[in-house]
Structure 1
Amino acid sequence: MTIEFDRRALIAGFGSFALGATLIPGAARAASAGEILAATDRLRNPQQSFRSQITITEYIGGRKNDEMAITVYSKPRPSDGQFRSIVHIDAPRKDAGKLMLRDGKDLYFYDPDAANTIRISPQQRLLGQASNGDVMTTNFSRDYRADLAGTETVEDARKAQRNCYKLKLKASNKAAVYGSIDYWVDAKSMHPVKGRFHSSSGRLMKIAFYDEYRQTMGALRPTKASIIDGLDTSKVTVMRFAKFTAVDLPDAWFQKSYLPRFRKS
């Protein structure tokens, strides 16, 4: 199967900062780094209890290699606004019904066939370049400290020039999946455009482009994230987000002890 997007355009895009980025002359700093980051959180995720579906497709050398479908249930904690999440694996059939739970820094995996719950790492790969932590609903402003590094013109996933704020994010607690993130946000729309994700040691792990903004649950939200391996650019994983639905989620769901009783709704 031929890849459905121009991988060369993506590779060119994530090199644009180093090779061709320019400062935006006279750009005004209308908001603080923290305010900009919080604005992107509100666009990436509805700030309420909701359900969504994600299709994760891995490509290697431009050809489809593997695919997974999941349903994610997310609810913000009253204490700090960060999300608790349950991930239900819908496909492939061999993994259907398996669950992941995240509440703060704690992440668990439950296999109903083995009736066993184990602690897992958010950095562990789920499929392709998508990690366990990537499929959990997260407000970056709750797990990272943001600094405004300036304004730049960068290329997005479609090779269009975008005037962006560049944010430098540093992990502020142990729940953060990455050590640091370079994050480009459209200066006009506050849409996230691009991210470079680093380990705690500073190693570049992946580059992500956010795309295909659609009106859903009251806002224009990115419904596609293309993730490129930080070392091997032939490895690309596409996450597609769909069917955002407001739902009332019981607090009891987000407990390790409840996983054996969980039923997809």
Structure 2
Amino acid sequence: MLKNDLVDTIREKALWMRRRAFTMVHDAQLGHPGGDFSAIDIIATLYFGVMRYDPKKPDMPERDRFIMSKGHATGALYTALCAAGYYPEDWLKTYMQPQSKLNGHPNRNYLPGVETNTGPLGHGLPVALGIAIAGQMTGSDYRTFVLTGDGELQEGSNWEAAMSAGNRKLGKFTLIVDRNRLQQGMGTEETNGLDPLDDKFRAFGWDVEVIDGHDVGALVNALSEPPGGRSKPLCIIANTIKGKGVSFMENKASWHHGVPNAEQYNTAMEELV
């Protein structure tokens, strides 16, 4: 697929994911739409432009692995898995309903395509590190991707994992930081400052790229494996906007776990075109 066609396809998938995720949150009156919307372009790029997988064989050994460490953003993950063909669209209507497979946090025991259960922040990066080390030890060529929130990096376990990844020179390991600068209640820098985040990861032995997390072309370039591979793990700091795409949600900490009323839902659907 030509790059321009690929970018257009990813953008179309991301728009569908936003509309579907917001409908899920509206119908359930539960969810985390702000973080869903900051991450959707990243996740759409991974699933529809970068990763190797087969929804008919979700456990095939050669698949690339994706760990959704910011596990509260299930609207983004579930819509991606659905659009990728892991399960039918009707399942999305059951989001957070009693006995639904689509819990508030992803559970690999219920859903194909989920590599590990996540939700408690700070756990996804260490788990992904273990997966990447296993690939290195067995000589496998799969890639391991993990998406964290930026507020999540205030958890110390992430930095233990970052130090180990740099030391082991895990060239097939990629961390994407959803850098929307907002966490529950306030800004990340007001809570426990992270900057200069890029220099921190370089000091731990990582390659680092800082990009616009809503620029699909830039995401494709950054996430694609270069010829000859890498000799270090890669950290992509993706500058994003919480609530991206809906005017009344953008850059509002209250939409970390806000849910729309009928009027807000209709306004969002008019804007998401």
Q: Same fold, TM exceeding 0.5?
A: no
* Structure number having the greater helix percentage: 2
TM-score, normalisation: structure 1: 0.30
* Structure number having the greater strand percentage: 1
TM-score, normalisation: structure 2: 0.29
